[in-house]
Chains A and B, each alone.
Chain A
Amino acid sequence: MRGLLADRPTLFVPGCYNALTARILEHAGFPAVYMSGYGTALSLLGLPDAGLTTATEMQANARYIASAVSAPVIADADDGYGNAVNVIRTVREYIGTGVAGIHLEDQALPKRCGHVAGRRVIPLAEAVGKYRAADAIRRELDPDFVLVARTDARGAHGGSLDEAIRRANAYLEAGADLAFVEGPTSVEEVRRICREVKGPIFYNMTGVSPRFTLEQMQELGITIAIAPGALLRATIQAAYDLAVALREDGPLAEAAFSEQFRKHPLGDLHTFAGFDRVRRWEEAFLPPEELEKYERSVGHQPSRDTSGGGAGAP
């Protein structure tokens, strides 16, 4: 992750919400992926992003995602799940999942999505203590682990952009690597953030915030930009449309869809899933008799030599 930050102008990182969507992003050529807390809550629990997901659930999802791709993963770690003491455990656990970095926010517990009204932030001094705690433990366990400090002060109850910029700078001083001012509502606000925050900028291109081209973000001075919810929305749209077709047109809508899916770049599903890789492992590590099971057996025949099928391929 640190390597990517050093040699790239603006790193654009779309969001995934599980191991499958992480693999799709990697397959599409993205060098890093982002784990969305909103997407984790909705896909894993079927719940809104309102502080209902536990640290254990978030870290389990982060672990599945980090195991499924070789691209570095930046994960949402909400508010760190408590005070500075909890942050110590949270950073330790996230490092253990294999993600490359996390973002921690200054919302009051329980948090909610940064683009939904009703947020509150904790006092500045308390938040600084949490970032200092996070910095101390990652220095001890993995100094390369990337810490992104997010402030929700722009859109929180009684907040302002000035307050958010002040907090972002305080969090960078406390040890954060990147500052993430959540929810600017105009190009001018983003420009001010990039000008007045004294450190690398993490930008969340979603919800109420303006959209940019990569060139524009580079010009503004954004180091990392995430698009956290696009794949989640794409999945919802595709799944819902097919569900409606199955209900309205009946079972044969499945056949029609499958016919169409086969022509998709990922339409060779079993290969994308990684059966070829399993067959290669079998050939390398199992007694040859075991491989006889593929003969005169009906179904997809995994290829014996092509590559593909996710991270960890030998």
Chain B
Amino acid sequence: MRATTRLRQMLTAPGIIVAPGAYDGLSARLIEAAGYHAVYMTGAGTAASHLGQPDLGLATLTEMATHAAHIASCVSLPVIADADTGYGNALNVVRTVREYERAGVAGLHLEDQVAPKKCGHIAGKQIVPAREFADKIRAAVEYRTDPDLVVIARTDARAVTGLDDAIERGNLYAEAGADVVFVEAPQTEDELQRISHEVKAPLLANMVPGGRTPALKTSELERLGYKIVIFPAVCLGAAIPAMERALARLREAETDDDGGRPMGPMDIFRKVGFDWWHEVERRFASPS
């Protein structure tokens, strides 16, 4: 079954879809191995890991779609990918949808920020008129070649024009054909609840540690009526301090042997599909 079809079925099946954020193929593999049913490709994490740059609209469509393809091709889970603003106007959105489809993602989210965009949880965001963005959603929906591709409309209006406008926009985008609505950065649990009551569409919640939205548990979000929850920073947030600690220890101890059981090459390769490839080699490439 296509990943798009699987994600669409998950949307109608009971239960909340929990999609931890992958910032590369390795983290996507770890998410799959941990037993999750969906992967989220974080744009902020892509910019940080792939380019070593902040999430300020510096990553191009080509870089994002290439990264999505790498992630989608190393896991069998449906991938929901950040597609920023769609990298321009409605014409660019059409190209973005096609490129992401070819990358093999199951769903993508497009946001109503002015291009170049900014991370949803930092100041200085600007948004385009609601009508203009509704047209971009219509373009995305009309020009997807796979009818099962899940189009998620994100509005960044909460921080710019307020919650009422964000809710109004959410409904407008759903009418324009969005399969899921993502109201970015509500500031309280009450706001999360109001969104859930007033937006007439399946909803995505974004849990960013240290962001504007209170940290809720997946079960709480499910109770509030959310259908998808993404944790974009879970892997990257764990990796950065772990790498920093390891680097500091190396400087101090002059060795990376910390006395514990080391991650040997095979331990690492096994995390990224060694056994599968070994089987391919055994069947097709070993000397007879």
Contacts and interface: CB of A to CB of B under 8 A. Distances in A.
Interface of A: 47, 50-52, 54-57, 81-83, 85-86, 89, 109-110
The B interface, classified by DSSP as helix, strand, loop or mixed, is loop
Contacts of A47: 95
Contacts, number: 43
B61 A54 contact: yes
B58 interface: yes
Given A109-B115, A110-B89, A110-B92, A82 B62 contact: no
Interface in B41-71: 53, 56-58, 60-63
A137 to B, nearest CB: 13
A86 B91 contact: no
Contacts of A54: 60-63, 87
A306 to B, nearest CB: 39
Contact of B91 (A50, A85, A89): A50
A85 to B, nearest CB: 6
Nearest to A83: B116
B88 A86 contact: no
B179 to A, nearest CB: 25
B88 A109 contact: yes
A52 B91 contact: yes
A311 to B, nearest CB: 26
A280 B53 CA distance: 43
Nearest to A85: B56
13 contacts: A50-B91, A51-B88, A51-B91, A51-B92, A54-B63, A56-B61, A56-B62, A56-B63, A82-B58, A82-B115, A83-B116, A85-B58, A109-B115
B60 A55 contact: yes
A83 B61 CA distance: 16
B94 to A, nearest CB: 9
B58 A110 contact: no
Nearest to B99: A54
Nearest to A45: B95
A130 to B, nearest CB: 12
Interface in B105-126: 115-116
Nearest to B51: A89
B31 to A, nearest CB: 26
Contacts of B95: 47, 52
Given A82-B116, A83-B116, A86-B116, A52 B92 contact: yes
A174 B95 CA distance: 34
The 8 closest A-B pairs by CB, nearest first: A56-B62, A82-B116, A110-B88, A54-B60, A54-B62, A56-B60, A54-B61, A55-B60
Most chain A CB inside 10 Å of its own CB: which residue of B53, B56, B58: B58
A159 to B, nearest CB: 20
B60 A81 contact: yes
Contacts of B91: 50-52, 110
Contacts of B60: 54-56, 81
A85 B91 CA distance: 23
A57 B56 contact: no
B123 to A, nearest CB: 15
A82 B92 contact: no
A21 to B, nearest CB: 22
